[in-house]
Homo-oligomer: A and B are copies of this chain.
Amino acid sequence: MGGNSFGKSLCITTFGESHGLAVGVVIDGCPAGLELSEADIQPELDRRKPGQSHLTSPRQEADCIQIFSGVFEGKTTGTPIMIMARNQDQRPQDYQDFQNCYRPGHADYSYDAKYGFRDWRGSGRSSARETLARVAAGAVAKKFLRQVAGIEVLSFVEQVCDIRSGLDPMRISRQEIDQSLVRCPDQVASAKMVALIEKVKAEGDSLGGVIRGVVTGLPAGLGEPVFDRLHSDLGRAMLSINAVKGFEIGSGFAGACLRGSEHNDEFYLDSAGVVKTRTNHAGGVLGGISTGEPLLFRVAFKPVATIAKEQRTINAAHESVTLKAAGRHDPCVLPRAVPIVDAMAALVVMDHWIRNLSARVR
């Protein structure tokens, strides 16, 4: 059974390889009547595409998407929405060194072990190029959430290696995020991150980091206990992104060090008569169901596996070899991963928004 679909009421299926003909997605379950065009989607892809700055892979891809189905006269029809981008700047020759060689930290070996062989051109299906399809689908979900449900999704780079931003995630705008080359709205931290990435890139090495996500405007009630909790689906979504090794909701690992009396978020009624909590250690979810407080989560990315430094490994014939990667790679994926985190969060929230329509007899 393949694993290329995500979501239950809103279900996306992605397809395509890094150096194949195209990468795309089919979105099934989007309600009819949502205004939608390529102009709603392309800007998100532009945030993800390579070649944005000197800090990202120089591969030249316009990532120019087209809607092939499911939209008529500017509105979704309730039928599957297929969105696809053709691959353009393919240089499979860059990858011939990896053809019979297992890059440390990469999926070369595990794909071979599972499938018997693999499309080695640009890492094939295991390339982060697949996330283009997620960003396209996520743009549809973001539009829906904003327009129909008043929900906003935002994420930004909070940490690159050990450089951390201390900004309050509730006080950040998309504009501030995109003004930073590394999508860190903290200008001081951003400058340090840029410098570190430049340095490490020059060394042929790579960096990891942490992205913070925030979802606001959520009603209380989203999430389906006991397995499809809002944050367990969100965690799965994030952990399905290339290079992600950790996920936290609310207090996360730090919360493990608090006492109950410190961690519990006290309920109160705000002046508008809305139930609120004074703190948000929960990260917006209790019992797997949204409380109406903002969703707050963090996503840890390991450093990029493909590096230009020499490494020892083995090849498909099980001989010891050394490897020094050519190819066009990001020294740090986090700036380009921000729209991917956005997209996956939006898809999860929209799925649960739809599922919640039938929570009770009305």
Q: Is the CB of B20 within 8 A of A288?
A: no
In the A-B complex, the 4 residue pairs with the closest CB atoms: A107-B287, A3-B224, A3-B228, A2-B28
Cα A109 to Cα B286 in complex, Å, equals: 8
Indicate with 1 or 0, residue by residue over A1-32, a CB within 8 angstroms of chain B CB atoms.
Answer: 11111101111011111001111101011111
A26-B26, A31-B359, A268-B312 known; 11 other A-B pairs, CB under 8 Å? Answer: A3-B226, A15-B79, A32-B115, A72-B124, A104-B266, A113-B221, A113-B289, A114-B222, A114-B289, A261-B309, A264-B305
Within 8 A of B (CB), among A229-281: 229, 231-233, 235-237, 239-240, 242, 245-253, 255-269, 273, 275, 277, 281
Cα A277 to Cα B104 in complex, Å, equals: 8
Known: A68-B21, A113-B220, A252-B246. Contact between A225 and B126, CB under 8 A?
yes
A: number of interface residues (CB 8 Å): 158
Cβ contacts under 8 Å, A116 to chain B: 32-33, 360
Q: Is the CB of B208 within 8 A of A258?
A: yes
Q: How far is the CB of A16 from the nearest CB of chain B, in Å?
A: 5
Can you spell out 10 A-B residue pairs with CB atoms less than 8 angstroms apart?
A: A1-B11, A3-B355, A4-B26, A4-B227, A21-B69, A31-B360, A32-B360, A208-B256, A255-B303, A268-B313
Q: Which of A43-51, A53-61, A185-193, A199-207 contacts B (4 or more CB under 8 A)?
A: A199-207
Cα A147 to Cα B362 in complex, Å, equals: 11
Asked whether any CB of chain B lies closer than 8 Å to the CB of A151, the reply is: no
